[in-house]
Amino acid sequence: MGGRHVLLISAQRDVRSKIREALRPVGMMISFVGRLEEAERFCHDGLPHAVVVEAAMGGERFEPLRAAMLAEVPTLAFVQTASEGKSFEVLNIADRQFASVGRDGIVQSLPGAMLYEMAASET
């Protein structure tokens, strides 16, 4: 996973900090944006290898952006951070599976969720 680029969409500083802590040991490059509009502008210059989106930013508001990203790169990996909990689970949204990690389990579970998503997207 080293050298891969991740876009994090989160307005919460503590979530960004936890994600940075979780992904630092695996050598991923991280870009942060606080709003969906910023994510759209960021992606105009090229897509990352993966997107981590805070659950509060996801849902119906996020789906058009996610669909546009997948239209350009069908294998793009997505991970959602849930607002609470510690678990790592796989969700089915819009006919696609992707990983979700509870906010309290980001440091422990996010690297595994990223590995899962990236491996699944390469098959």
Q: pLDDT tens digits for 4-24?
A: 899 999 998 988 999 999 988
The count of structural domains within the chain is: 1
DSSP 86: S
- Cα 48 off chain centre by: 10
Task: In whole angstroms, give the CA distance from residue 85 to residue 123.
Answer: 29
- Cα 112 off chain centre by: 13
Could you tell me the residue range of the domain that residue 113 belongs to? 5-121
The answer to whether the beta carbons of residues 60 and 33 sit under 8 Å apart is: no
CATH number of the domain bearing residue 44: 3.40.50.2300
Confidence of residue 2 (pLDDT cuts 50, 70, 90): low
Give the model's pLDDT for residue 121.
67
* Angle ∠(90,92,98) on CA atoms, nearest 5: 50
Give the model's pLDDT for residue 117.
84
Q: Which of 109, 5, 97 is nearest to 49 (CA)?
A: 5
Q: Is the pLDDT of residue 41 over 90?
A: yes
Whether this prediction's pTM lies above 0.85 is answered by: yes
Q: Which two tokens stand for residue 5?
A: 């680029």
Q: Which two tokens stand for residue 12?
A: 């919460």
Mean pLDDT, rounded, for 74-82 = 88
Write down the mean pLDDT value for the chain.
86
Type of residue found at 29: M
The torsion region of residue 57 among left (phi > 0), alpha (psi -120 to 50) and beta comes to alpha
